[in-house]
Chain A
Amino acid sequence: MALPKAREDALAARLQALPVAAGKGWLAAVRAEALARLTAMGLPARRDEYWRYTDPASLNAPEAPVAHSFDASDESEPFDGMDRLKIVFVDGVFDPAASDDLTLSGVTIERLAEAGSKDIHWAQGLYGVLETRGQDPVARPFAALNSAFATDGVLIHVTGKATKPVSLVYVHESEVSDAILHHCVKLDPGASLTLLENGPAAARLNKVMEVEVADGASFHHIRLQGRDHERRAVTHLFARLGARSELRSFTLTANGRLTRNESVLELAGAEGRAHLAGATVGDGEFHHDDTVFVTHAAEACESRQVYKKVLMNGAVGVFQGKILVKPGAQKTDGYQISQSLLLDEDSQFLAKPELEIYADDVKCSHGSTSGAIDEVALFYLQSRGVPRRTAQALLVLAFLAEAIQEVADEDIAENIHARLERWLARHGSKG
């Protein structure tokens, strides 16, 4: 099907501004296929049902809109003091000097740029593969664009239990950087890895992560998206879970002009467990979109989506979440909750929760709420001498608690809690 003229032009303009993806080896062929997928679907437009609540214009634009980096020196770097293997990207480019040695027992880590030029590689079975599966039933053009043009990233193969977390650190320096990162993580049966991500990465970031979690493997993912106010990001997490495997992914977003985080999960083996959670705090010019698609394709799997957003001074939050239960996926346990706390009337939350179920023996629940702060509770706290601002922060943190609880590591959960506390001390509704 040919694209309408306007879309064709938009795509042409975008493609023209992108560096020609160099390459020989397996990656070149995979990229060509991704480009063909992108060309067939075109870039998203506000008219698309999937982009109804989020305007993709600034993500489509040939040049990244200017974004200053935020001076976060008043706060220690996240995960500081943790024993971890650090891999640093500056404006989307691997920085070997700032990174640790890429050696870790039970894990092999390679740069995409190097591994891609080989004739054969394990990542051939993963790179662009889960992304392609995730294009049905809803097109995700930015993910296809990413597969076609990603300039850097890591390929992580986990064969055993990783002895420490792998920590991807995304430094943003240039005001106009436009980063495209693509990571692949393959966990062998019974393997386990904790992957940490933090930082704004660039003025504009397009990031894809494809994760294959084999039978009995476990993948924990914790992401802190940085405090830059003007940055824009579109990210995709594609994951496929084997039998009795586990995936947990938590994202903290504070600030950012535009963020669209898509998570596309397939529970492909029996008794898999997937927990997705997000805690978001936004003040002013802030648009944050969590778009989630969880497919139950096997029996007795459990999925949980817990998304909480605190919005003030005109901030906008979006949640689009779907649980699809395929025929035969009996004994599915699906839970989805998306909630917003609006600290004033200028802020808004748009939610589209969906269930689509083709099996009869399932337990699925979803709920979406949007509410103001509980004035009675606020008064109760104040009457005990707690200043209004502190009382408000206490109630906000209580609201976010269900999402933060999804972080399995207690130290990290506490660190996130403390970060939010400091953020809340600096931000308040003017309404």
Chain B
Amino acid sequence: MLEIKNLHVKLEEEDKVILRGVDLKIGAGEVHAIMGPNGSGKSTLSYVLSGRDGYEVTEGSATLEGRELLEMEPEERAAAGLFLAFQYPVEIPGVGNMTFLRTAVNAQRKARGEDELSAGDFLKVVREKAKALKIDAEMLKRPVNVGFSGGEKKRNEILQMAMLEPRMCILDETDSGLDVDAMKLVAEGVNALRSAGRSFLVITHYQRLLDHIKPDVVHIMAAGRIIKTGGPELALEVEANGYADILNEVG
């Protein structure tokens, strides 16, 4: 599904290197987790994959189902099946959440040569998916993320993901700022989307999300590199002992 090879990234504006050779391979239907201390480059990796400005790839490649991602515009990556649930979802005053969702869904359908959804069909699908995430009609009418609580913003990200049905989902700290109930809701939303043809990359700080979204593989990232890869037990180890031991062990 997603294959990242020796990815080196620096900031465009300054000589600051953030990613120093990331290698990662996620198969179809797999769930991978990335854990790591603050500032290790996890969000940067997710931004570079989705095409945000301001970063320069100095080496390496990233492919989605064999297609080179790094050359594409962000919207092309989305149409190719990539989705990033933002660590900090963006507020867009003046653009209604519903308009936003419909524009996004139809833009992707168009890019794939499919017919646009009718207003009625669209409404039906949104209502159903929103209900599962306990997103009420009022939240759908409000401008995108404006005045939403932290939890509402994260649930709104999952709603977008559910609507767009991407094949490769990256979740960047979707659990941060959520209470236990909200986290369960989000995890259920994610689990409902798990399928043989869809992969997940779950970036998180804490083991607790991984209790709900069970990963197949866990990676530890530090200083712009993946320094250790293992099974779900690796997350438990981090939970128990912190990153210090692993960092020391790797040197």
Are B94 and A381 in contact, CB atoms less than 8 angstroms apart? Answer: no
Are A384 and B93 in contact, CB atoms less than 8 angstroms apart? Answer: no
Are A388 and B75 in contact, CB atoms less than 8 angstroms apart? Answer: yes
Are B79 and A385 in contact, CB atoms less than 8 angstroms apart? Answer: yes
Say if the beta carbon of A379 comes within 8 Å of chain B. yes
- B84, closest chain A residue (CB): A383
A387: chain B residues at CB < 8 Å are 73, 75, 107
Task: Please report the C-alpha to C-alpha distance between residue A390 and residue B94 in the assembled complex, in whole angstroms.
Answer: 15
Say if the beta carbon of B148 comes within 8 Å of chain A. no
Are B94 and A376 in contact, CB atoms less than 8 angstroms apart? Answer: no
Query: Hey, what's the 0/1 contact readout for B84-111 against A, CB within 8 Å counting as 1?
Result: 1010011111110001100110011001
Interface residues of A in 353-404 (CB under 8 A from B): 374-377, 379-388, 390-391, 394-395, 397-399, 401-402
B95: chain A residues at CB < 8 Å are 394-395, 398
B51: chain A residues at CB < 8 Å are 379, 382-383
Query: Hey, what's the 0/1 contact readout for A210-236 against B, CB within 8 Å counting as 1?
Result: 000000000000000000000000000
Task: Please report the C-alpha to C-alpha distance between residue A387 and residue B79 in the assembled complex, in whole angstroms.
Answer: 10
Are B92 and A379 in contact, CB atoms less than 8 angstroms apart? Answer: no
B50: chain A residues at CB < 8 Å are 383
Are B78 and A382 in contact, CB atoms less than 8 angstroms apart? Answer: yes
Are B111 and A385 in contact, CB atoms less than 8 angstroms apart? Answer: yes
**Closest approach, in angstroms, between the C-beta of B231 and any C-beta of chain A?**
31
A375: chain B residues at CB < 8 Å are 53
Which of A377, A379, A386, A401 is B103 in contact with, Cβ under 8 Å?
A386
B74, B86, B107, B164 — most chain A CB neighbours (10 Å): B74
**Closest approach, in angstroms, between the C-beta of B82 and any C-beta of chain A?**
8
A399: chain B residues at CB < 8 Å are 94
User: With A390-B107, A394-B103 given, is the CB distance from A382 to B92 under 8 Å?
Assistant: no
Which of B74, B91, B99 is A383 in contact with, Cβ under 8 Å?
B74
A384: chain B residues at CB < 8 Å are 78, 100, 104, 107-108, 160, 164
Task: Please report the C-alpha to C-alpha distance between residue A401 and residue B146 in the assembled complex, in whole angstroms.
Answer: 16
- B96, closest chain A residue (CB): A398
Which of A382, A390, A402 is B74 in contact with, Cβ under 8 Å?
A382
A380, A382, A398 — most chain B CB neighbours (10 Å): A380
**Closest approach, in angstroms, between the C-beta of B53 and any C-beta of chain A?**
7
Task: Please report the C-alpha to C-alpha distance between residue A377 and residue B104 in the assembled complex, in whole angstroms.
Answer: 13
A383: chain B residues at CB < 8 Å are 50-52, 74-75, 77-78, 83-84, 86
Which of B52, B94, B107, B111 is A379 in contact with, Cβ under 8 Å?
B52
B160: chain A residues at CB < 8 Å are 384
- A394, closest chain B residue (CB): B95
Interface residues of B in 47-81 (CB under 8 A from A): 50-53, 73-75, 77-79
**Closest approach, in angstroms, between the C-beta of A407 and any C-beta of chain B?**
16
A401: chain B residues at CB < 8 Å are 94
B74: chain A residues at CB < 8 Å are 379, 382-383
**Closest approach, in angstroms, between the C-beta of B143 and any C-beta of chain A?**
8
- B108, closest chain A residue (CB): A385
**Closest approach, in angstroms, between the C-beta of A395 and any C-beta of chain B?**
7
Task: Please report the C-alpha to C-alpha distance between residue A254 and residue B77 in the assembled complex, in whole angstroms.
Answer: 34
Are A381 and B93 in contact, CB atoms less than 8 angstroms apart? Answer: no
Are B86 and A380 in contact, CB atoms less than 8 angstroms apart? Answer: yes
**Closest approach, in angstroms, between the C-beta of B238 and any C-beta of chain A?**
29
Query: Hey, what's the 0/1 contact readout for B101-138 against A, CB within 8 Å counting as 1?
Result: 00110011001000000000000000000000000000
**Closest approach, in angstroms, between the C-beta of B134 and any C-beta of chain A?**
21
User: With A386-B107, A394-B103 given, is the CB distance from A380 to B94 under 8 Å?
Assistant: no
Task: Please report the C-alpha to C-alpha distance between residue A374 and residue B95 in the assembled complex, in whole angstroms.
Answer: 13
- A398, closest chain B residue (CB): B94
Task: Please report the C-alpha to C-alpha distance between residue A49 and residue B93 in the assembled complex, in whole angstroms.
Answer: 36
**Closest approach, in angstroms, between the C-beta of A401 and any C-beta of chain B?**
5
A388: chain B residues at CB < 8 Å are 73, 75
Are B92 and A380 in contact, CB atoms less than 8 angstroms apart? Answer: yes
Task: Please report the C-alpha to C-alpha distance between residue A310 and residue B90 in the assembled complex, in whole angstroms.
Answer: 22
A382: chain B residues at CB < 8 Å are 51, 73-75, 78
Task: Please report the C-alpha to C-alpha distance between residue A381 and residue B91 in the assembled complex, in whole angstroms.
Answer: 11
**Closest approach, in angstroms, between the C-beta of B69 and any C-beta of chain A?**
12
Which of A376, A377, A385 is B164 in contact with, Cβ under 8 Å?
A385
Are A381 and B53 in contact, CB atoms less than 8 angstroms apart? Answer: no
A381, A394, A397, A398 — most chain B CB neighbours (10 Å): A381
User: With A384-B160, A385-B111 given, is the CB distance from A377 to B75 under 8 Å?
Assistant: no
Task: Please report the C-alpha to C-alpha distance between residue A399 and residue B95 in the assembled complex, in whole angstroms.
Answer: 9
Task: Please report the C-alpha to C-alpha distance between residue A390 and residue B100 in the assembled complex, in whole angstroms.
Answer: 11
Are B104 and A381 in contact, CB atoms less than 8 angstroms apart? Answer: yes
Are A395 and B52 in contact, CB atoms less than 8 angstroms apart? Answer: no
Interface residues of A in 398-423 (CB under 8 A from B): 398-399, 401-402
A-B contact pairs, 15 of them (CB 8 A): A379-B51, A379-B53, A380-B89, A381-B100, A381-B103, A382-B51, A382-B75, A383-B77, A383-B84, A383-B86, A385-B104, A386-B103, A395-B92, A398-B92, A398-B143
Which positions in B face A, CB cutoff 8 Å?
Answer: 50-53, 73-75, 77-79, 83-84, 86, 89-95, 99-100, 103-104, 107-108, 111, 143, 160, 164
Which 5 A-B pairs give the minimum distances between C-beta atoms?
A398-B94, A385-B78, A382-B74, A384-B104, A385-B108
Q: A383-B50, A401-B94 are in contact. List 12 more A-B contacts (CB 8 A).
A: A377-B90, A377-B91, A380-B89, A382-B75, A383-B75, A384-B164, A385-B75, A390-B103, A397-B94, A398-B92, A398-B143, A402-B94
